[in-house]
């Protein structure tokens, strides 16, 4: 048996067997999908949550944000926010998103334990909109909050599509001269 085969055999003998979520109460497992906990955890990750009751309140809240009032281009991927409130991402022949300052997009579900939002395949625009914009606003219905990542994956099931990911707070890195940089690899 070659060294490679010995290593692979040893790994197979020690393979981790999947286990169920242990349950129970504790900081690792919120008992409920609390909107307050979601807002708190998102803030801890560097994001900001704004709770609204209607699409009109959402549009008004977004328009009051300083990053939107000073933006050159604001694009919405939400069906409910058509012009003139926001520019439609499909306008223009080129689909160029390089100068977009703010994108408002739908989130599939939010996770209370860490403030993460699952985004899936956009239906009206390129998925690059999530990463090329300077600022990103994700909209999640309160009924689409889950308590923890185990609940999130259970709810998502077998996700069909070419794209999906969790986003929580702004892009951050401290690789460059050990200084924290916000927005280096995505939205701020």
User: What integer pLDDT is reported at residue 26 of this predicted model?
Assistant: 56
User: What integer pLDDT is reported at residue 110 of this predicted model?
Assistant: 95
Please give the class, per CATH, of domain 31-182. Answer: alpha beta
Q: Determine the Cα–Cα distance for residues 126 and 55; give it in Å rounded to an integer.
A: 23
Instruction: Determine phi and psi for 8, rounding to 5 degrees.
Output: -65, -40
Based on its alpha-carbon atoms, the radius of gyration of the chain, rounded to whole angstroms, reads 20
Contact between 38 and 142 under an 8 Å Cβ cutoff? The reply is no
Burial class from Cβ neighbours inside 10 Å (0-12, 13-18, 19+) for residue 58 reads buried
Buried-exposed string 122-137: b where 16+ CB fall within 10 A, e elsewhere: beebebebbbbbbbbb
Instruction: List pLDDT tens digits, range 71-130.
Output: 888 888 887 765 444 555 444 434 567 788 898 988 999 999 899 999 987 655 567 788
Helix runs in 80-164, H state only = 129-132, 149-156
pTM, entire model: 0.74
Mean pLDDT, residues 144-149: 91
Structure-token match 């609390």, residue found = 34
Domain ranges for the chain, please list them: 31-182
Q: Which of 55, 68, 59, 52 is nearest to 188 (CA)?
A: 68
């Amino acid at each position: 048996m070659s060294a490679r085969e010995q290593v692979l055999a040893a790994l197979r003998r020690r393979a981790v067997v999947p286990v169920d979520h242990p349950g129970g109460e504790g900081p690792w497992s919120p008992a409920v999908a609390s909107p307050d906990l979601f807002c708190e955890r998102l803030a801890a990750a560097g994001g900001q949550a704004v709770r609204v009751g209607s699409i009109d309140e959402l549009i008004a809240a977004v328009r009051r944000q300083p990053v939107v009032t000073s933006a050159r281009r604001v694009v919405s991927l939400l069906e409910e926010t058509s012009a003139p409130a926001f520019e439609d991402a499909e306008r223009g022949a080129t689909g160029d998103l390089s100068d977009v300052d703010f994108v408002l997009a739908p989130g599939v579900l939010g996770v209370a334990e860490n403030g993460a939002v699952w985004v899936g395949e956009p239906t009206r625009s390129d998925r690059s909109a999530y990463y090329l914009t300077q600022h990103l606003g994700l909209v999640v219905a309160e009924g689409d909050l889950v308590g923890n990542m185990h609940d999130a994956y259970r709810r998502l099931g077998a996700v069909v599509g070419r794209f999906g990911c969790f986003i929580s707070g702004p892009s951050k890195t401290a690789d460059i001269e050990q200084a924290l940089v916000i927005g280096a690899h995505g939205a701020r």
